[in-house]
Structure 1
Amino acid sequence: MSRILLVEDEKVMAKNIAFFLEKEGYQIDIAYDGQTGLDMFQQASYDLLLLDWTLPRMDGLELCKTVRKQSNVPIMMITAKEEIMDKVVGLEVGADDYVTKPFHQRELLARIHALLRRHQAQPAASPDNTVEYEDLQLDKARLLLRYRGKSTPLTANEYKLLESMMRHPENVYSREMLFEQIWGMTTGFSDRTVDVNVSRLRKKITELTGKKYLHAVRGMGYRFGGEG
């Protein structure tokens, strides 16, 4: 049974979400403010976090940023903000997905299923499915990118994105192709969403290796490997 931490200050909404998800077989813990949510996260093990954007004591963005420094647990933001730049900010601080209020509970359930599936269904490492490029190696069991004895943690989205591109270095991927690789669908496709995920991943790789492996291809998308 997957355990989810829901951080939502609207108590009626929180209880309704928890009741629905518990009927679907999830174990739900609720926090009504950001600081309590952080305390609960640090004291227990969770499979996924659902974070409201606007929270007392610590807002959802700050909570997301703090959690992401400690863990690669999947994080989904719940927000009433509809502007694309607001959603981009959420992705930039480490969220894996977002759902906009008001939302249908079945949409939330589908997104939770997809996010947990991407995070949990990583194949066990073996010589046949190890992904390597030069001195880079993906650790599938731990969601780590390794380089010359050092490593950096990856989120489920970052892992999926990098795995696809490392398996086919030099190939050019359109933004829409990458969006489908990450979310498994093209509904809700946004160039900016892909750009944010690639930018975050590129920063991690550069900080780890001192090299630039991800390249933008003008008018087309992105490619991995080779010269810039």
Structure 2
Amino acid sequence: MYKLMLIEDDALLGELIQDHLERYGYVVNQPVSFTNIVEEFTRLQPDLVLLDINLPYYDGYYLCRSIRKQSTVPILITSARSQELDQIMAIELGADDYITKPFTFEMLQSKVKATLRRVYGEYAIKESSNTCIGALCLEANTLTITYDEKKRELSKNEYKLLKKLMDQHDSFVSREELIEEVWDSVTFVDDNTLTVNMTRIKSKLAELGIEDAIRSKRGAGYMFYSTAVAED
């Protein structure tokens, strides 16, 4: 039975979300006070966090960053803010997905179910070996990538996307295939979410000294060029 932490300051909406998710067998906890949410998270140790952005005392961005400092628990942002910049910021701070209000309870439940399945269930990362191309190694157990004695940490989503590309290096992988690899469904995922994650991966590769390893082509998707590593 999965334990969820719902951080929503609209009391009526929070109650409706809690009632709906509990029908599916989840244990849903809402914070007693919005002044000690991080402390409550530490005490509760939930399996997933549903986090609004517009909150009293501390906004969702601050809380997302604070939670990420101590945990890799999946975080789903639920917000009425629909601007692309808001979604980019949330993902940059470590959120796993962004759900724009208003949403149906059925879609929210589908997102929760898919995320839990991806992180803890049948689609969870189970590899114990590393994926390497030349001196570049993707480490499954630590979710890190190493090259030339340098190391960078990856989120679960970044790990899955990069592994998919490295496994199929020198061949284009479609955007749809990459989205399904990480989020299970193309229907409920904003295409920009993939773009933001790919930009973060490219940035981390560049920090390791690897330039232009991942390239995109309109209508074809993304490709990991093994020669970019070999040439370095």
TM superposition score normalised by structure 2: 0.82
Aligned partners of 1:169 and 1:216: how far apart in 2?
Answer: 11
Q: Does 1:77 align with 2:77?
A: yes
Work out whether residues 33 and 57 of structure 1, in 8 Å CA contact, stay in contact via their aligned partners in 2.
Answer: no
String of CA shifts for 1:41-99, please: whole Å, max 9, x gaps: 23342211110010111101121122223322111000112233332332222211122
1:158 aligns to what?
158
1:79–1:210 Cα change, 3 Å = same
2:210 aligns to what?
211
Partner SS state of residue 228, structure 2: coil
2:127 aligns to what?
125
1:90 aligns to what?
90
- Using the TM superposition, give the Cα deviation of residue 213 of structure 1 relative to its aligned residue in structure 2, in angstroms: 6.4
Work out whether residues 8 and 33 of structure 1, in 8 Å CA contact, stay in contact via their aligned partners in 2.
Answer: no
Partner SS state of residue 28, structure 1: strand
1:145–1:18 Cα change, 3 Å = farther
Partner SS state of residue 18, structure 2: helix
1:123–1:197 Cα change, 3 Å = closer
- Using the TM superposition, give the Cα deviation of residue 28 of structure 1 relative to its aligned residue in structure 2, in angstroms: 1.8
Question: Which consecutive unaligned segments of at least 5 residues does structure 1 have?
Answer: none
- Using the TM superposition, give the Cα deviation of residue 183 of structure 1 relative to its aligned residue in structure 2, in angstroms: 1.5
Q: CA RMSD in A?
A: 2.6
The letter for the 2-side match of 1:165 is L
Aligned partners of 2:167 and 2:143: how far apart in 1?
Answer: 16
1:66 aligns to what?
66
Partner SS state of residue 36, structure 2: helix
Question: Which consecutive unaligned segments of at least 5 residues does structure 2 have?
Answer: none
- Using the TM superposition, give the Cα deviation of residue 25 of structure 1 relative to its aligned residue in structure 2, in angstroms: 1.7
The letter for the 1-side match of 2:209 is G
Partner SS state of residue 46, structure 2: coil
The letter for the 2-side match of 1:113 is K
Work out whether residues 9 and 32 of structure 1, in 8 Å CA contact, stay in contact via their aligned partners in 2.
Answer: no
1:173 aligns to what?
173
1:217–1:190 Cα change, 3 Å = same
Aligned length: 225
1:161–1:56 Cα change, 3 Å = same
